[in-house]
Amino acid sequence: MARKLLLEKAHVEGIRHYDVYRREGGYRSVEKALKMQPNDIVEEVKKSGLRGRGGAGFPTGMKWSFLAKPDGVPRYLVCNADESEPGTFKDRYLMEFIPHILIEGMIVSSYALGSNTSYIYIRGEYDWVTDILDQAIKEANENGWLGKNIQGSGFDCQIHVQRGAGAYICGEETALLESLEGKRGNPRIKPPFPAVKGLWGCPTVVNNVETLAAVVPIMNEGGEAYASIGVGRSTGTKLISACGNINKPGIYEIDMTISVEEFIYSDEYCGGIPNGKKLKACIPGGSSVPILPANLLLTTAKGEKRLMNYESLSDGGFATGSMMGSGGFIVLDEDQCIVRHTYSLARFYRHESCGQCSPCREGTGWMEKILLNIENGKGSLSDIDLLWDIQRKIEGNTICPLGDAAAWPVAAAIRHFRDEFEWHVNNPEKCLTENYGLRHYADPIHVPV
């Protein structure tokens, strides 16, 4: 059984409340941190090798050290709790069951960054979680962990919770800042990056919920101890939201040394695929990352076992690999239709595109319409090439990563499952009643350039 750092105490009775959380060793990291210099905390996080848990996997300590520190200008810490990636629900779980760990991590991080006002921007649909966080903040205030002169250290900090209004795009950090300022959630054009000019034009750090929570075990046990867990540049533990065709969907905290095969089939984790079905494909890191067929998921193109970590999942680039992303692990069994699945993702991205820049605004809708045609047996073979060309023209040409996120799933589906698309086109009647199944799923398929 792997060590749990974040969810160890998540199921202690009443852990949601301050008294129990404190009794179980909560807020020790704040006590420790307030005796340190802020820069030492940043160094400690750098040592831990912690990488952003929101999807991009950028080293957190490095992100913190980029924060501009001009005199007389406030700095802000913003927690990105706008978790809206399909297949990802780890942050909700964390905030719902053990809210104080986020508050604790945020106090330490605020102290390290010099932020006296920090925000939690939470997804609008998580209304009950907002209440839980508000309660936790209230308790932290009552016990002197927030507010003026925290624990007599002279450091002031307040945390505010702001609900979003139901837009995926507001999980993009600059759109989040726009929305937090009360504006339309359009991503900003970078540079300037938030570390220089963020919230209200002031230097800002935006971190994911899990990232900020992970600061707590880093402070408690030291950066080096944290870095000793895991493998290579994938240090510490990672929360995985597993869903789809598996026996035990849910949140798993893993250290990043286990293999994908073990994660899917062992009883400790997902517990295999129900009803004796076979694995067809899997999206290992939330809907935006490329889908992988079973053969490439379990072993890399080099023939090595694929592990659940940043490096191994992205091994082979997009041609034969994928990404760790936000850890939304979606498993598809042999009965699932890749065309329908891709269509449903395209529909999501069309609906969530902010409409600011033209490739994403127009391209996402176009892809959705073509995919719907193919799914309904009305497509043609040239449509598949057209889809490839559209995604190629969206990718990299947009303001924010949503364009890439919309293009990658389509590209990967065509790259690995082109035969299934062609089957749909060639069997317009049959595709309405039958599934393509597993026919060629394990064969490497020609990659169009």
Which span sits near other proteins by CB under 8 A: 260-268, 288-296, 306-314, 357-365?
357-365
Give the number of other CB atoms < 10 A from CB of residue 118.
Answer: 24
CB of residue 101 to other proteins, shortest distance in Å: 34
Contact 42, 61 (CB under 8 A): yes
3-class DSSP state for residue 92?
A: helix
**Residue 369 lies near other proteins (rule: CB under 8 A):** yes
Which span sits near other proteins by CB under 8 A: 38-46, 114-122, 214-222, 347-355?
347-355
**Residue 361 lies near other proteins (rule: CB under 8 A):** yes
**Residue 358 lies near other proteins (rule: CB under 8 A):** yes
Strand pairing report for 204-208 and 250-255: unpaired
**Residue 407 lies near other proteins (rule: CB under 8 A):** no
Contact 299, 306 (CB under 8 A): yes
- Amino acid, res. 279: L
Please select the residue that binds other proteins; options are 34, 225, 231, 386, rule is CB under 8 A.
386
**Residue 58 lies near other proteins (rule: CB under 8 A):** no
**Residue 197 lies near other proteins (rule: CB under 8 A):** no
**Residue 177 lies near other proteins (rule: CB under 8 A):** no
Give Cβ neighbours of residue 210 (< 8 Å, ≥ 6 apart): 6, 53, 54, 90, 91, 94, 238, 239
- Nearest by Cα to 193 from 338, 443, 400: 400
Give the number of other CB atoms < 10 A from CB of residue 148.
Answer: 11
Please select the residue that binds other proteins; options are 3, 393, 430, 439, rule is CB under 8 A.
393
Distances 344 to 7, 187, 351 between C-alpha atoms, Å: 32, 24, 11
Please select the residue that binds other proteins; options are 248, 305, 351, 439, rule is CB under 8 A.
351
CB of residue 354 to other proteins, shortest distance in Å: 5
Distances 215 to 55, 312, 364 between C-alpha atoms, Å: 17, 24, 37
Contact 371, 346 (CB under 8 A): yes
Please select the residue that binds other proteins; options are 134, 362, 419, 422, rule is CB under 8 A.
362
Paired strand residues for 118: 77, 159
Please select the residue that binds other proteins; options are 229, 254, 354, 425, rule is CB under 8 A.
354
Please select the residue that binds other proteins; options are 51, 53, 92, 350, rule is CB under 8 A.
350
Q: Which is nearer to other proteins, 191 or 303 (CB)?
A: 191
Q: Report the alpha-carbon distance of residue 174 to residue 9 in Å, rounded.
A: 33
Kindly list the residues in this chain that would bind other proteins in the complex (CB under 8 A).
167, 169, 184, 189, 350-359, 361-366, 369, 386, 393, 396-399
